[in-house]
């Protein structure tokens, strides 16, 4: 009889009983609706133990990889500890490197704490030690690098970003929690065409995901579209052009809304560029990061152009200019 641990208490799961039924029988009412594995209301995570594969049917690969499952169709085969969140240790680390990538984006490299594991494309929550002001930043590094890289955009009136630009110095200590996020590459289907689209510092997670994809030896074509209002807002162009030159299956395409696009680039509305450039997007796996309205428009457009919902991964950024 498997034991289910939830919020520090143990519950015994009877033979042929689902996790949802077990919890309900013990008076723990998890949110649920269809009770048939369709609506995903009861999705929860196995913090320890492995959920049976049939309890993960219909979930995105990134959720499966993090041991999320549907409680209503999960008959556990062994002990499990379940919950929605994991409590992150508080990591205190030093800033190793700080470099302007363009006039409004700075690259930070932080010490990577021992025992800190993540997937390229996930984010961390960075705290300013003096007052615990907290903001989320995507990791631009890959899991095999010995530092953590962030790209921070200076937001007008932004408390955190202005401090990062003007106050934070190499050698200073910062604190973070994490990682979190569902926008990352899961190895498999090596022939699948990939489309990565980012606006502004939406390039940060994509820079990690892209290099992860290349490290895994992905074989299918990989299109990276980095969009900005105008050419000065683009960054990492030399690095991305070098990656493009070294990898036959990669094409890097800088995109601008206004003014002339750099060589090999496209001028236009980024929400429409993927289908204009590639036609049907059926069979693609797509990663979208950046400003929420643009990410939402892109999500709808790539779906209408043929990409399956299961293959669209996105990370809309939220900026906090006025608090």
Partner 1 sequence: MSTVYEQLGGEAAINAAVDVFYRKVLGDHYVNRFFAGVDMSKQAAKQKGFLTMVTGGPNNYTGKDMREGHKHLVKMGLNDAHFDHILCHLRSTLAELGVAQGLIDTVISVAESTRADVLDR
Q: Which stretch binds partner 1 (CB under 8 A): 35-43, 78-86, 207-215, 262-270?
A: 35-43
Smallest separation, CB 309 to partner 1 (Å):
5
Report if residue 242 touches partner 1, rule: CB under 8 A: no
Q: Would you say 142 or 307 has its CB closer to partner 1?
A: 307
CA-closest candidate to residue 139, choices 117, 165, 168, 164: 117
Q: Which of 12, 33, 48, 190 binds partner 1 (CB under 8 A)?
A: 33
Q: Which stretch binds partner 1 (CB under 8 A): 14-22, 37-45, 150-158, 184-192?
A: 37-45
Report if residue 34 touches partner 1, rule: CB under 8 A: yes
Q: Would you say 64 or 159 has its CB closer to partner 1?
A: 64
Q: Which stretch binds partner 1 (CB under 8 A): 127-135, 229-237, 263-271, 300-308?
A: 300-308
Angstrom CA distances, 217 to 1, 23, 247, stand at 43, 43, 10
Smallest separation, CB 233 to partner 1 (Å):
26
What is the bridge-based pairing of β-strands 250-256 and 91-102? Answer: unpaired
Report if residue 87 touches partner 1, rule: CB under 8 A: no
Q: Which of 163, 177, 303, 319 binds partner 1 (CB under 8 A)?
A: 303
What the block records as the tokens of 114 is: 């021992």
What the block records as the tokens of 82 is: 């379940």
Residues in contact with partner 1, counted by CB under 8 A, come to a total of 20
CA-closest candidate to residue 187, choices 211, 215, 216: 216
Smallest separation, CB 36 to partner 1 (Å):
3
Q: Which of 309, 318, 322, 323 binds partner 1 (CB under 8 A)?
A: 309
Q: Would you say 205 or 265 has its CB closer to partner 1?
A: 205
How are strands ordered across the β-sheet holding 68-70?
9-12, 3-6, 80-83, 43-48, 68-70
CA distance between the termini of the chain: 51
CA-closest candidate to residue 196, choices 63, 312, 64: 312
What is the bridge-based pairing of β-strands 147-153 and 133-138? Answer: unpaired
Report if residue 100 touches partner 1, rule: CB under 8 A: no
Q: Which of 14, 38, 100, 229 binds partner 1 (CB under 8 A)?
A: 38
Q: Would you say 38 or 170 has its CB closer to partner 1?
A: 38
Report if residue 84 touches partner 1, rule: CB under 8 A: no
Query: Hey, which residues between 260 and 299 contact partner 1 (CB under 8 A)?
Result: 296, 299
At residue 200, φ and ψ (nearest 5 deg) are 55, -130
Mention every residue, 6+ apart, whose C-beta is less than 8 A from residue 140.
107, 149, 150, 151, 203, 204, 205, 207, 208
3 state DSSP class of 54 = helix
Query: Hey, which residues between 190 and 229 contact partner 1 (CB under 8 A)?
Result: none
Tell me how far apart the alpha carbons of residues 63 and 182 are, in angstroms, rounded to a whole number. 7
What the block records as the tokens of 77 is: 């085969």
Residues near partner 1 (CB under 8 A): 33-41, 57-58, 296, 299-300, 303-304, 308-310, 312
């Amino acid at each position: 009889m498997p034991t289910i641990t939830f919020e520090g208490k143990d519950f015994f799961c009877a033979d042929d009983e689902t996790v949802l039924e077990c919890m309900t029988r013990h008076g723990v009412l998890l949110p649920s609706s269809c009770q048939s594995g369709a609506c995903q209301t009861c999705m929860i995570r196995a913090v320890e133990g492995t959920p049976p594969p049939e309890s993960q049917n219909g979930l995105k690969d990134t959720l499966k990889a993090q041991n999320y499952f549907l409680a209503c169709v999960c008959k556990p085969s062994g002990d499990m500890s379940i919950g929605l969140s994991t409590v992150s240790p508080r990591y205190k680390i030093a800033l190793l490197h700080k470099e302007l990538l363009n006039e409004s984006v700075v690259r930070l490299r932080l010490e990577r704490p021992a025992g800190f594991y993540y997937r390229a494309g996930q984010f961390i929550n960075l705290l300013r030690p003096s007052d615990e002001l907290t903001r989320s930043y995507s990791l631009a590094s890959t899991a095999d690098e010995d530092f953590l890289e962030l790209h921070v955009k200076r937001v007008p009136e932004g408390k955190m970003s202005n401090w990062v630009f003007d106050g934070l110095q190499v050698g200073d200590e910062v604190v973070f929690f994490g990682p979190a996020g569902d926008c990352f590459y899961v190895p498999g289907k090596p022939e699948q065409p990939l489309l990565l689209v980012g606006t502004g510092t939406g390039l940060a997670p994509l820079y990690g995901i892209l290099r992860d994809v290349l490290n895994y030896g992905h074989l299918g074509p990989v299109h990276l579209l980095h969009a900005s209002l105008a050419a000065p807002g683009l960054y990492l162009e030399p690095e991305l052009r070098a990656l493009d030159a070294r990898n036959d299956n990669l094409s890097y395409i800088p995109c601008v809304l206004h003014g002339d696009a750099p060589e090999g680039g496209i001028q236009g509305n980024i929400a429409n560029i993927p289908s204009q450039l590639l036609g049907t997007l059926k069979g693609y796996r797509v990663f979208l990061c950046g400003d929420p309205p643009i990410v939402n428009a892109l999500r709808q457009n790539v779906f209408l152009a043929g990409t399956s919902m299961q293959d669209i991964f996105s990370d809309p950024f939220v900026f906090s200019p006025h608090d």
